[in-house]
Structure 1
Amino acid sequence: MSASMTVASEKTIFFHALEIDSLEQRTEYVRQACKNNTQLLSAVSALLRENDREVNPIDRPVAAEMLPTMMSGELTDPRFSPGAMVGPYQLMERIGEGGFGWVFVAQQRSPVQRRAALKIIKPGMESREVIARFEAERQAIALMDHPNIARVFDAGVTETAQPYFVMELVRGVPLTDFCNSNRLRISDRLQLFVTICHAVQHAHQKGIIHRDLKPSNILVTLQDGRPLAKVIDFGVAKAIGQSLTVKTIYTRFTSMVGTPAYMSPEQAAMSTDDVDTRSDIYSLGVLLYELLTGSTPFAPDRLQTAGFDELRRIIREEEPPRPSTRLSTLNSEESRTSDVERLGPPTTPSTAMKRDLDWIVMKALHKDRNRRYSTAGALAEDILRFLQDQPVEARPPSSWYRFTTFARRNKVAISTFSLVAIALIIGTATSLWQAREAIRERDEKELALAEAREAEVAANAARSELENFNDRLNSTTVLLAAGRANADAQRWPDAYEAYSEATQVLPKSFLVWLERGGLNAKLGRWESSANDFVKAVEIGFPIEQAELNGVPQILLYAGRSDAYETLLQELRQSDTEVPFAVSARGQLVGSLSPNRAAELADQMEQMLSKTFDSDVSSGPLNKRQRYAKIYYGVNLYVAGLAHLKAGDYQQALHRLEETNHANWFGRGIAKPLIAIAHHRMGNADDAVQSFEESQVFLDRMLDESIERSKGSPSMPWIDWIEFLIHHREASIVVKGHTPAADPRFQQLQVFADAAIDG
């Protein structure tokens, strides 16, 4: 095993070490992680020393002379042109640009190949503050795992010391553009908005505030024909009660964080320490306002032309019009050109908003954050109540609210009345409580006495039932032993009688039904065997019992499809130590998807190759190799059947023909499968010839069974029943019809019944 498989990579150890604040703990972690690899220890230690320096390549731009060009948005640096490599990622095209970073479509080359979005700091922008914010964004996204939030795949540093991270490539369009271009109805917009609320709620639960929610940071794409929203760009995210980076993010004095049109009043106050999750609730309210009306509460043009102080005043003090009011005041020219026209008839959204949507939106946009929704999840729940025609929590002030305002105005009178009422209530309550306690104590004593009597009766009944069960269990053990002994001596009537009596003594034991079902199968009494196995399936038994007794084959041949599917589902999920070929055989005998069959075929081929290797090796064999060597013919047969089900007919034909030369009890049962393989490959003549050989094999086995006056041939009955299943399938595939009824089967049934009757 190589060192790369036992020791973590240099990058992984370096990033984990950065999260440890204590120098002693960090040093001890690095020493243990690098183990005895002195070269790796030196490399990681050098990275940590460079990171801890006050002045390092990251804090000092390596391309400061390119800053004017970078700020103008022109990409002239050949290091980041299409085709350039950043770590294992090849840049394809630039798809986005922020204040300090670029976003590229990148093709990952190793260890897997996939498309992703790679975000990297622009050359010339590597200040400590920018790098800290960049690392904070990466850490914020990495903390979250939600289907509506873009995921982080990887992170690293270029050869020129520029940090980058790789995240999920979202092929979508901004939220409002998607809704408008697809003419989504209000209900569809609200359903989509609920998923965004859940994503924001997930971020809040992880301790992350986005602080810049807007349509361009919420991309929508179609997944399985349904819209899927992805929240991106946590570049100005803030952590709650934790550190997103080992570096300090310093927000400059008199600087605002966020986009003005979607900014909460507390963000406009520029007190970043006072911003909490309810700031994102306000931004969600702005998004909902825009989805319903086609514009933000405050027109972006007005905010752009306003001075700095005026902009802050508008956001903090002015109350926006209600959504329904905004729609009703649109003049005819605006209605024809605005996005409202895409919502449906103008009266439809306005009527709906006047009921409850106005209250939901305005509660989310409340200037006092204490009056907003407490969580994004609460906002989503209120929208779902609206969609389900249920009362919303953001309804107008209730009677209780009006009463509390009245109480504040009449404190003296209400206080006096309250004291008198409280005294009366306390006195009455005390009397009632004392009476109830006395009644409760009496009832508890009577109940305890009744429970004690019931417990005594139950204990006596349980003791009697246990004694009875032990007697029946001992009796069943004796009967099963007698059944096995008689079956080994081919005293079929005595064996069947012992098994049948065991089913009467202990009918809830799966073992007795399996034992009698196996006896019936050995004699060729397929229907009776299937009935016994169905009983065992209904009771429930260890799955390896079904695999070793051929239960799936009997159930399928007898047409007991419900019991077969139940057993097959457990067989696929089992993690037992049963030989793999037996497990695969139970699955392959029925219908199976090509993908699952291909997996089983690969595993069988690995088993066959290991068996071959073990033949030339002098070392000890493991359990699977020992089984494979003993049952090499069975493994060839199962591998061929798996290849046939997977559609690899050439390999199936090769393995199945090998079984005809292997030394195993079921030699010859692969003939109908060979006919099917030839037919699938278009070899019509070979298919007919192989089917005729299968028919000859069937005739020989039936004649042999009749000559022996027994219900089944000399080969194992599991092989015989599978041959009958596949011969019937080959007749349908090659000949176009099911095989004709053969009177010899009826004669064998008579022999089998006669063997039981003595």
Structure 2
Amino acid sequence: MKSLEKDRRRRDETAADMARDVQRFLDQQPVVARPPSSWYRFTRFARRNRTMFVATVLVLSALVSGTIISTWQAVNATIAQRETEQLRREAVESVDKLKKSNVLLDSARANADEQRWALALGQYTKAIELQPNHYFAWSGRGALLARLGGWHIAADDYVFALNLGEPANNPAWWGVPQLCYLPKQNKAYQEVCDRMKSQLETTDDLGQIPMIVRAMCIQPRSEHEIKPLAFQMEALIFEQDQKDIDRPGHRGMSFRPKPGQGPPGQRLPFPVGPADSRLMLNHILKYSAGIANYRAGNAQRSLELLSQLRIHDEGGPFGTMASPVMALAFHETGQPDLARQELADAKSFIDEWLTEMEESPEGPRMPWFDFLELCIWHAEATTVIQGYPPQADQRLLELEGRAGELLRQSLQYQAN
């Protein structure tokens, strides 16, 4: 382009000058025909020393990349170290809180046994505050609230424990399905029943099986679902009768709890000796078989089993609990007078329990979960036989209110 310049002073003076410029271009040297910029000279130099330039660039890139990676790793290591230290501190703090929470739970159970209700509730509440995900704290407080008659708020605590992952497959959860069924916590009720039902295929515990059946029979279900349970209970009754066939006199025994039995503050019908244990087991099995047969659509067989139970446990816990179920079975078999009589008996048993709850320093003889089951069956029987549900008993509402007030006091105490 320089050879074509109009201004002669800016053109190559001779052909030799132009030849030398062409040679410089071929030798990757800066040519005179181009402006001598720094970038142009640098590119010419790089082309002349391509190998050395590429090697230098690779070395520099490696150094820069290594520096960047090392810095990034150092930053990550520092962050990880800080996170690890934070997790270590949180773990130590969590273990410390768990220890304090467990101490509170032990103390709360002891205070509940001594009927120091407010103190026990406060300790359960403090344990929950320290460890909100400690499901034993929630179920422990729920058990105490249920014992005090605060069934609706107790159900809330048990549902919380269930959502935290408590197995709900052990004796501590006996009666909890009924507790969830009462306030229509249907999802929780069904979940507890499902967890309990899954044990029927693996357990041979004669204490666990009837409780599972009782829980499932609280809610009306399809006959197809209940018939296997009724058959299983009948088989267990037959098996126990075969074992007891060489034990003369066991059928004529009638269990009565002795004073001072059971946890402090409760007169529970716990067995006294082997004979009483066998009789109690027989009563539990017949009661469970009776309600299972009723739910399975066999009201006549239900009456046979519950009548047999009534003979040997008249005035006892299961003879008492049989009344509303027998009322339903009598109603279904066309015996309205007997149905109304059993319904009235169930109501009188409820009144007796509430009176004992108010007046007896040791509390009622029937455990709260048995009484709750009696109330649920009584409500169903009243609705079926009379055509309308029973009125809410003011005494039950007062129990619920007192339990709620004790809980509020414990929450206020913890807040202060």
Instruction: Assess same fold via TM > 0.5.
Output: yes
Structure 1 residue 642 displacement after superposition:
0.6
Q: In the TM superposition, what are the counterparts of 1:337-352 in structure 2 within 5 Å?
A: none
* 2:319 is the alignment partner of 1:667: yes
Contact in 1 for aligned 2:150/2:401 (Cα 8 Å): no
Alignment partner, residue 718 of structure 1: 369
The structure 2 residue matched to 1:503, chosen from 128, 150, 156, is 128
Identity of aligned residues (%): 29
Structure 1 residue 480 displacement after superposition:
0.9
Superposed CA offset, 1:384-433 (max 9, x none): xxxxxxxxxxxxxxxxxxxxxxxxxxxxxxxxxxxxxxxxxxxxxx99xx
Structure 1 residue 723 displacement after superposition:
0.5
Alignment partner, residue 302 of structure 2: 652
Structure 1 residue 602 displacement after superposition:
1.0
Q: What is the rounded CA distance, in whole Å, between the counterparts of 1:665 and 1:691 in structure 2?
A: 16
Q: What is the rounded CA distance, in whole Å, between the counterparts of 2:302 and 2:244 in structure 1?
A: 23
Q: In the TM superposition, what are the counterparts of 1:251-400 in structure 2 within 5 Å?
A: none
Structure 1 residue 665 displacement after superposition:
3.5
Structure 1 residue 532 displacement after superposition:
0.9
Q: What is the rounded CA distance, in whole Å, between the counterparts of 2:139 and 2:202 in structure 1?
A: 19
Structure 1 residue 615 displacement after superposition:
1.4
Q: In the TM superposition, what are the counterparts of 1:680-691 in structure 2 within 5 Å?
A: 680-691=332-343
Q: What is the rounded CA distance, in whole Å, between the counterparts of 2:135 and 2:277 in structure 1?
A: 27
Contact in 2 for aligned 1:553/1:718 (Cα 8 Å): yes
Structure 1 residue 520 displacement after superposition:
0.7
Structure 1 residue 510 displacement after superposition:
0.8
Alignment partner, residue 392 of structure 2: 741
Structure 1 residue 630 displacement after superposition:
4.5
Q: What is the rounded CA distance, in whole Å, between the counterparts of 2:406 and 2:281 in structure 1?
A: 31
With a CA cutoff of 8 Å and minimum separation of 6, indicate the structure with the bigger relative contact order. 2
User: Number of matched residues?
Assistant: 319
Q: What is the rounded CA distance, in whole Å, between the counterparts of 1:628 and 1:584 in structure 2?
A: 19
Contact in 1 for aligned 2:343/2:382 (Cα 8 Å): yes
Q: Residue type matched to 1:506 in 2? A: Q
Structure 1 residue 564 displacement after superposition:
1.5
* 2:355 is the alignment partner of 1:730: no
Alignment partner, residue 146 of structure 2: 521
* 2:100 is the alignment partner of 1:475: yes
Contact in 1 for aligned 2:151/2:400 (Cα 8 Å): no
Q: In the TM superposition, what are the counterparts of 1:41-60 in structure 2 within 5 Å?
A: none
Structure 1 residue 751 displacement after superposition:
5.3
Q: What is the rounded CA distance, in whole Å, between the counterparts of 2:322 and 2:356 in structure 1?
A: 19
Q: Residue type matched to 2:390 in 1? A: P
Q: Residue type matched to 1:492 in 2? A: W
- SS of the equivalent of 1:544 reads coil
Q: Residue type matched to 1:669 in 2? A: M
Alignment partner, residue 494 of structure 1: 119
Q: What is the rounded CA distance, in whole Å, between the counterparts of 1:745 and 1:462 in structure 2?
A: 48
Q: What is the rounded CA distance, in whole Å, between the counterparts of 1:528 and 1:583 in structure 2?
A: 23
The structure 2 residue matched to 1:608, chosen from 237, 260, 263, is 237
Q: Which structure has the highest strand share of the two?
A: 1
CA RMSD of the aligned region, Å? 3.1
Q: Residue type matched to 2:327 in 1? A: A
Structure 1 residue 745 displacement after superposition:
2.4
Alignment partner, residue 560 of structure 1: 185
* 2:228 is the alignment partner of 1:599: yes
Q: In the TM superposition, what are the counterparts of 1:241-252 in structure 2 within 5 Å?
A: none
Q: Residue type matched to 1:558 in 2? A: P
For normalisation by structure 2, the TM-score amounts to 0.69
Q: What is the rounded CA distance, in whole Å, between the counterparts of 1:627 and 1:594 in structure 2?
A: 31
Superposed CA offset, 1:55-89 (max 9, x none): xxxxxxxxxxxxxxxxxxxxxxxxxxxxxxxxxxx
Structure 1 residue 683 displacement after superposition:
2.1
Q: What is the rounded CA distance, in whole Å, between the counterparts of 1:666 and 1:480 in structure 2?
A: 32
Alignment partner, residue 582 of structure 1: 211
Q: Residue type matched to 2:163 in 1? A: E
Contact in 2 for aligned 1:666/1:715 (Cα 8 Å): no
The structure 2 residue matched to 1:643, chosen from 289, 293, 296, is 293
> Higher Cα Rg: structure 1 or 2?
2
Structure 1 residue 696 displacement after superposition:
2.3
Superposed CA offset, 1:653-689 (max 9, x none): 1112233234454430110110111112222222222
Contact in 1 for aligned 2:148/2:399 (Cα 8 Å): no
Contact in 2 for aligned 1:604/1:639 (Cα 8 Å): yes
Structure 1 residue 440 displacement after superposition:
7.1
Q: What is the rounded CA distance, in whole Å, between the counterparts of 1:442 and 1:570 in structure 2?
A: 58
* 2:88 is the alignment partner of 1:455: no
Q: In the TM superposition, what are the counterparts of 1:362-441 in structure 2 within 5 Å?
A: none
Over 3 Å counting, the alpha-carbon distance change for 1:447 and 1:611 in structure 2 is farther
Superposed CA offset, 1:210-240 (max 9, x none): xxxxxxxxxxxxxxxxxxxxxxxxxxxxxxx
Q: Which structure has the highest helix share of the two?
A: 2
Q: What is the rounded CA distance, in whole Å, between the counterparts of 1:676 and 1:531 in structure 2?
A: 30
Alignment partner, residue 10 of structure 2: none
Q: Residue type matched to 2:342 in 1? A: S
Over 3 Å counting, the alpha-carbon distance change for 1:462 and 1:706 in structure 2 is same
Alignment partner, residue 348 of structure 2: 696
Alignment partner, residue 175 of structure 2: 550
Q: What is the rounded CA distance, in whole Å, between the counterparts of 1:689 and 1:549 in structure 2?
A: 29
Q: Residue type matched to 1:650 in 2? A: Q
Contact in 2 for aligned 1:666/1:716 (Cα 8 Å): no
Over 3 Å counting, the alpha-carbon distance change for 1:591 and 1:539 in structure 2 is farther
Tell me which moved more, 480-489 or 539-548: 539-548
Contact in 2 for aligned 1:517/1:532 (Cα 8 Å): yes
Over 3 Å counting, the alpha-carbon distance change for 1:494 and 1:538 in structure 2 is same
- SS of the equivalent of 1:616 reads coil
Contact in 1 for aligned 2:174/2:211 (Cα 8 Å): no
* 2:269 is the alignment partner of 1:631: no
Q: What is the rounded CA distance, in whole Å, between the counterparts of 1:645 and 1:441 in structure 2?
A: 76
Contact in 2 for aligned 1:553/1:589 (Cα 8 Å): yes
Structure 1 residues without counterparts, runs of 5 or longer: 1-429, 619-625
Q: What is the rounded CA distance, in whole Å, between the counterparts of 2:294 and 2:277 in structure 1?
A: 23
Over 3 Å counting, the alpha-carbon distance change for 1:506 and 1:456 in structure 2 is same
Contact in 1 for aligned 2:108/2:123 (Cα 8 Å): yes
Contact in 2 for aligned 1:608/1:635 (Cα 8 Å): yes
Q: In the TM superposition, what are the counterparts of 1:82-161 in structure 2 within 5 Å?
A: none
Contact in 1 for aligned 2:290/2:306 (Cα 8 Å): yes
Q: What is the rounded CA distance, in whole Å, between the counterparts of 1:445 and 1:662 in structure 2?
A: 84
Structure 1 residue 701 displacement after superposition:
2.4
Superposed CA offset, 1:135-189 (max 9, x none): xxxxxxxxxxxxxxxxxxxxxxxxxxxxxxxxxxxxxxxxxxxxxxxxxxxxxxx
* 2:158 is the alignment partner of 1:533: yes
Structure 1 residue 693 displacement after superposition:
2.0
Contact in 1 for aligned 2:213/2:229 (Cα 8 Å): yes
Q: Residue type matched to 2:311 in 1? A: H
Structure 1 residue 453 displacement after superposition:
2.2
- SS of the equivalent of 1:647 reads coil
Q: What is the rounded CA distance, in whole Å, between the counterparts of 1:658 and 1:453 in structure 2?
A: 76
Q: What is the rounded CA distance, in whole Å, between the counterparts of 1:535 and 1:747 in structure 2?
A: 24
Alignment partner, residue 57 of structure 1: none
